[in-house]
Amino acid sequence: MQPFSSLAAHLVSCPRSSLFPPLAAHIVKILPLLASASIALLTMSFSCDKQDSEVQPCNEATTAVATQAYTLPTGCSLTAQRGQSKSYIIDSPDELAAAVQCNSSTAPTVDFTTSTLLAGRVPRSGGAFLRSQQVALDCQGNYVHTVNVSDSPTLSPVDVDYTIVVPKLPSGKQVKVVVNIVQ
Sketch the domain layout of the chain as residue ranges.
2-53, 63-182
Helix extents (H) in the chain: 2-13, 21-53, 93-99
Contact 167/94 with Cβ under 8 angstroms?
no
pTM (predicted TM-score): 0.66
Count how many residues are written for the chain: 183
Q: How do residues 113-168 score in pLDDT, each as one tens digit?
A: 999 999 999 998 888 889 999 999 988 889 999 999 998 887 788 899 999 999 99
Q: How do residues 94-105 score in pLDDT, each as one tens digit?
A: 999 999 999 877
